[in-house]
Amino acid sequence: MKVLTVLTSHDELGDTGRKTGFWLEELAAPYYRFKDAGIDLVLASPKGGRPPLDPKSNEPASQTDDTRRFEADPEAMAALASTVRLDSVSADDFDAVFYPGGHGPLWDLAEDATSVRLIESTLRAGKPLALVCHAPGVLRHAVNEDGTPLVRGKKVTGFTNSEEDGVQLTEVVPFLVEDELTRLGGDYSKGDDWAPYVLRDGLLITGQNPASSGPAADVLIASVTGADESDAAGA
C-alpha cells in the first residue's frame, strides 16, 4: 500500500514579512500513523526538495510526541529534505492521497493546476483523499466530471473562521477556508475550536485543525483497507 503526501512550497505569510509553510504536527502525526500501519509513503511538493516549515509549528507550545519523534528520525528528515516534484507523480501510482495543512497551501496548492488534477483523478479513480486544517481550501478549484464544484453537497470541514481569528490572520490569508467551502456548496460543519473533528463523505475525508490530522489519517487508512469507520469523529 502506498500513500502520497502533498506539502506546500510557499513560505511567505502574505505581505506581513513573516514566514509560513506546512504545519509540522499535520505531517508528523499522519506520517507515523501510516508508517506504523506498514504503508509506504512518498512526500511531494510543487517545487520538490525541502518544503518550508511554518516556524510557529515548531515552537514549544505546538510540539507533540509525534513532532519530536519526527525531528529525531533520520529517515523521516531525509524524506522531508527530498520531496519529489508534484508534477512528477500520478494518482495511478498510489492507493490514497493526504494533504497536510499550514497556511502555505492557501497560496500555492489552492491555485495549482497540477494539484487540482491530482485531486480530481484520485477521486475519479475510486481512491480516498484526505485533507486537514487549511488544506481543504485546496479543493476550491476542483470539480466533478459535470463541472460542478467537487465539494458541492458533500460533508466537509476545515479550519474555522474563529480559529483563524484566534491566530489573528483573518485579514492576512487570501481566503477563509470555512467561507470558501460554504460558498462552493459544501455541507460544512465544525467541532469545538482546536479539538479533533473529522468528516468522511465517501472517498473525501476532511479534518478541521492540527489535532484532527492523526484521526484523519486513521480514517484514510480505514478507507483504503476497508475497515469500518464512522463517518464523523471528534468533538
The per-residue pLDDT for range 43-54, each reduced to its tens digit, is 999 999 999 999
Residue 8 is predicted with a pLDDT of: 98
pLDDT higher than threshold 80 for residue 174? yes
Regarding beta strands 197-201 and 204-207, do their DSSP bridges make them parallel or antiparallel, or are they unpaired? antiparallel
Residue 231 is predicted with a pLDDT of: 52
Confidence (pTM): 0.96
pLDDT digits (tens, 9 = 90+) for 215-224: 999 999 999 9
Which helix H or strand E contains 183, and what residues bound it? helix 177-183
The partner residues of 3 in beta bridges, in order of sequence, read 41, 96
The partner residues of 188 in beta bridges, in order of sequence, read 156
Q: Are 19 and 55 in contact (CB under 8 A)?
A: yes
Where do the structural domains in the chain lie, given as residue ranges? Answer: 2-234
Q: Which CATH number fits domain 2-234: 3.40.50.2000, 3.40.50.880, 3.40.50.970, 3.40.50.12780?
A: 3.40.50.880
Q: Are 52 and 21 in contact (CB under 8 A)?
A: yes
Rounded Cα gap, residues 60 and 71, in angstroms: 13
